[in-house]
Structure formats: structure tokens, C-alpha cells
């Protein structure tokens, strides 16, 4: 088997991102800016209104991911493993 059969050659492929900026695809949803039609049932209208009120942090989140991809452990954004476990273990349900 040759390297080209395995995809392990050095030839750039246009379908594979080469940098963190190319790979990060966190974008603001255009649905956030849509008008909520008056014809929707009240429950759905209320839900969409609440969803639109969620802060949009897409640009900040993308910048943090790109920084982490470039700087690795030197980036201020990734959490220490202990903190990740602690946050994941928090639950108010005893069965969780």
C-alpha cells in the first residue's frame, strides 16, 4: 500500500482545512434574526422569543477555540482536567 492509498502523503487536499481558522466553523445562526410570525401558536412564539434572548457568544467562542488550537496548553481558555470533571459531576439529581 502506498502513502497516497492511505491519505498519508503531503499533497494538500482542498477539502481538508489546513489551519485552525479554516477549521473553526462556529457562526451566528441567521435564525436569530428572523421575525417571529404572529401566526405561530403562543407556546412556540414564547419559546422562540426566549431562544432569541440567549446571548450570542459565537465570535468569542470561535476566537477561544482558535487561540487554543494555536497555543495549546499556553492558551488561557481550556479548563484544567480537574475542573472539567468537577463541572461535569455537578447534578441536582441523585441518580445522575
pLDDT tens-place string over residues 9-53: 556 666 665 665 566 567 777 778 889 999 999 999 998 899 889
- Position 1 scores a pLDDT of 46
Write out the residue range of the structural domain in which residue 47 sits: 29-74
DSSP annotation of 79 reads P
19, 7 in Cβ contact below 8 A? Answer: no
In a domain? residue 38: yes
CA distance 17 to 66: 13
% of the chain exceeding 90 in pLDDT:
18
Q: Is residue 50 part of a domain?
A: yes
Please tell me the total count of domains within the chain: 1
8 within domain boundaries? no
Identify whether 51 is part of a domain.
yes
At 42 the pLDDT is 95
Inside any domain, residue 95? no
Distance CA 51, CA 53 (A): 5
User: What pLDDT score does 12 carry?
Assistant: 60
Pick from 5-9, 19-23, 80-84, 87-91: least confident: 5-9
Q: What is the pLDDT of residue 58?
A: 83
Question: Would 33 be classed as within a structural domain?
Answer: yes
Amino acid at each position: 500500500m502506498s502513502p497516497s492509498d492511505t491519505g498519508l502523503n503531503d499533497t494538500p487536499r482542498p477539502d481538508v482545512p489546513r489551519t485552525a481558522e479554516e477549521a473553526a466553523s462556529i457562526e451566528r445562526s441567521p435564525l436569530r434574526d428572523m421575525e417571529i410570525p404572529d401566526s405561530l401558536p403562543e407556546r412556540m412564539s414564547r419559546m422562540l422569543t426566549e431562544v432569541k434572548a440567549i446571548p450570542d457568544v459565537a465570535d468569542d467562542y470561535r476566537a477561544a477555540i482558535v487561540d487554543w488550537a494555536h497555543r495549546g496548553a499556553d492558551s488561557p481558555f481550556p479548563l484544567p482536567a480537574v475542573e472539567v470533571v468537577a463541572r461535569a459531576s455537578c447534578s441536582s439529581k441523585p441518580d445522575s
